[in-house]
Amino acid sequence: MKNLTISMPVQVYGDPAEAVERSAQWRPGDPFPLLAGAALDRFSRLVGELPAVEVTPRTGTVFSTGGPVSRAAGRLLAVATERPHRHVDPAGLASAVAGAGPVALVGLASDLAEVGDWPAAGNPRVGVLTGRTPASLLCLVYRTLVPEAGARNGTFVVSNPFHQDELDADAIEKAEMDRLFTERNQLVVYHLHGRECSAGMPDAVICGRSHDGSDLPAPPPEGFRIPSCLRGEGCYRGDLAEEQRIRAMDLNAVLVFSQSCSTVAVGTSAFPSEVSLGAGFLEGTTVAVIGGMGSHMAEPGLEREVLDGVAAGLPLGDIVARLNSGDRGHRGGMATFGLLGDPGLVLTVPAEQEAPPPSPAPERSTAGGGEDAALETLRHLNDVVLPRCERLPWLELDGAEEEFLALRGRLRELAYRPADGDTAARAALLADEVAEAQHRLIRRAAASAQREGADFLGDSSSLFDQEAREEIHCVGCDRPRAFRLRLRHRVEQGLTVLTEQCRRCGDLHWSTAESPDTAPRILGPVDFPADRGIVSELTRELVNPGPHTVRGAVGFAFQTKDEPVLPSWVSEPVEIPAGGVYRFRIPLDLPAFPTVRPDPHTGQVMALLDGVYLLSPAVMNLA
């Protein structure tokens, strides 16, 4: 049945049980059942007269999970789009949707919290329709069936003043976002740094919460990173006033494309669902969100891919699958997207619109004798350590180029005169200087991370291609929902990056090692608890599984931006024998910083060992 318009658009109920009962009997031609609430009020104010539902077939299957409200919402979506409907238990959801083609999964946020992993982990064309309340979930299903009602046919881009696309953006500060409060654009793009609960601008924060005040009972639930706002102590952005907090639900859009970390976090939430940014957009007038999952390396202009897909008449599920495919050479492998919304939905387009290098030669073994040992040291520095260090400027490590160019010249000079009699001593001195140069680099990196945060790839993320992907067990949440990527630089082909990412925890580990098996590594849990009234210590292990001693340095820093409100950065030199372990202990004198908020605070453990650069986050859940 196509294009059948009902004469009475909607029927609004005050009791969820009534709405559920009516939903179970709804047929095209009946008033569409909705619940009174803020979501419906907001949509009504924007569009005026509520439009009628037009029954339009969509591809795929509708699944629902959880209680009777989720089942009722799933049935409504299925009947109105002529798709089959299956209601499944959260425990069996992953196997049910795997290989099922496009799947629109419907459920309350509380129901989906039981799923345990991102539902699309085994099916690239899954989209999730979720709401925090029965009223908001039914309203989302209704908006999904009348998706472009009251929409302005255009695109609006919000970016930060330090991003590459800031000159092309419509807004880079709060005052320029006024239109989003009163108009509903077809596509709104957010190219902002963020975390699961928010996306930030210099003078504002876009917040995933639906209302003010603490949402959680005391004590807070275990297993989550609890932001300071849910402890009743205000936003973690202490530099902003309350009027600079923008609720995501107040920003209008049909489709949101968000390039910030963990915008989409269903089944993998590190934060409580009450603060999820992607879910916050769905509490407003937004129909669908295409957003970053876990740690996300943004690519300026990638919204063009979304617009091209819409222009080609592709359903949203196909657009997201294409973004995640790594095809067309536009992505560096660190921009994984998830879909909150119907994967079968087709929107109208807004008007505007080489082979790996050869393996390095094996390192030669020492032949014996002081002179031979000195030459072996020089070979190791020349063939292994310095080439690795000389690639680091591609990762925008401050000062890397100058440090190691001078040492390269020293090494050549020493190699030209091996018979001077003091080669062994001079080779050992040069090895010391290379280790010290690595320590200087780590000191600068730690100081920079304290001011600006640590971004392993920096602006070079688009210059990396994904070579391999492997599913692994997450060391943070102890669940099989992580993966390891091997990336290679398109220009500096000798530069490889190994990264481990979790769909819940985000960053786990970064390394410029050629292989994970013999390279040094940082070990330790991602999350750790702390009390601001107690002096504590963070410990990480640096392991060296390789056959040679490695030297360099390790450091740690919290990102505190301006004046430190947390312990300042630290660093120290490191030497680890073959097969050895080094324990890095960071004292945390938290009582000395009484103004710190009880919030998840992200720090970075970084190391540079024989030219292998390592980075691993440590999230302090402060109470």
Residues 407-429: what's their mean pLDDT? 76
Query: How would you classify the pairing of strands 337-340 and 288-292?
Result: antiparallel
The pLDDT confidence band at residue 166, using thresholds 50, 70 and 90, is low
Q: How far is CA 62 from the centre of its chain?
A: 27
> What global pTM score does this model have?
0.77
Residue 140 CA to residue 343 CA, distance in Å, equals: 14
Is it the case that residue 408 has pLDDT exceeding 50? yes
pLDDT at 479: 87
Question: What pLDDT score does 167 carry?
Answer: 73
User: Which pLDDT score is estimated for 214?
Assistant: 52
Q: Residues of the chain with pLDDT > 90: what percent?
A: 48
- Asked whether the predicted pLDDT for residue 567 surpasses 80, the reply is yes
**Element containing residue 224 per DSSP (H, E):** none
| The pLDDT of residue 204 | 94
Identify the band that residue 328 occupies on the pLDDT scale cut at 50, 70 and 90.
low
Where is pLDDT greater, at 372 or 205?
205
> Rounded mean pLDDT of 306-315?
92
Is the pLDDT at 139 greater than 70, yes or no? yes
The residue among 450 and 104 whose pLDDT is bigger is 104
* Predicted pLDDT at 283: 95
- pLDDT value at position 368? 45
pLDDT value, residue 364 = 38
Kind of pairing between the strands at 184-191 and 151-159:
parallel
* Residues above pLDDT 70, as percent of the chain: 90
Model confidence pLDDT, tens digit, residues 452-484: 888 888 778 878 888 888 999 988 888 888 899
Cα–Cα distances (Å) from 479 to 16, 112, 235, in that order, read 35, 17, 30
Residue 519 has pLDDT above 70, yes or no: yes
Which pLDDT does position 495 carry in this prediction? 92
pLDDT band for 418, please (50, 70, 90 cuts): low
Q: What is the pLDDT of residue 409?
A: 83
- Give residues with Cβ within 8 angstroms of 312, minimum separation 6: none
pLDDT value of residue 346? 95
Cα dihedral 318/191/271/209 (nearest 10): -100
pLDDT band at 238 (very low <50, low <70, confident <90, very high): confident
The pLDDT tens digits for 349-386 are 665 543 334 334 334 343 444 567 778 888 888 888 88
Q: Is residue 421 predicted with pLDDT exceeding 70?
A: no
Average pLDDT, the chain: 86
**In whole angstroms, how large is the CA radius of gyration of the chain?**
27
Distance from CA of residue 608 to its chain's centroid?
24
pLDDT at 92: 87
pLDDT for the residue numbered 330: 47
What pLDDT sits at residue 21?
94
Average pLDDT of the segment spanning 182-206: 92
Greater model confidence, 181 or 115: 181
Asked if residues 457 and 332 have their Cβ atoms less than 8 Å apart, the reply is yes
The token pair at 22 is: 């009516």
Highest mean pLDDT among 91-95, 100-104, 401-405, 594-598: 100-104
Q: DSSP characters for 72-122?
A: HHHHHHHHHTT--EEEE-GGGHHHHHTTSSSEEEEEEHHHHTTS-S-GGGG
Residue 40: pLDDT band (50, 70, 90) is very high
Mean pLDDT calculated for residue range 400-405: 77
pLDDT tens, 10-39? 999 999 999 999 999 999 989 999 999 999
The arithmetic mean of pLDDT across residues 137-166, rounded, is 88
Distance (Å, whole) CA 509 – CA 611: 16
Decide if pLDDT at 541 tops 60. yes
In a 10 Å sphere around its CB, with 0-12 CB exposed, 13-18 middle and 19+ buried, how is residue 592 labelled?
Answer: exposed
Q: Residue 515 has what pLDDT?
A: 84
Q: What pLDDT does 332 receive?
A: 46
Lowest mean pLDDT among 181-195, 199-213, 247-261: 199-213
Higher pLDDT, 326 or 423: 423
Q: How far is CA 131 from CA 46, 111, 123, 140, 227, in A?
A: 19, 10, 22, 7, 21
Question: By mean pLDDT, which of 126-130, 186-190, 256-260, 564-568 is the weakest?
Answer: 564-568
Query: What span, in angstroms and rounded, lies between the C-alpha atoms of 393 and 555?
Result: 19
Is the pLDDT score of 2 beyond 50? no
Which tops the pLDDT comparison, 365 or 601? Answer: 601
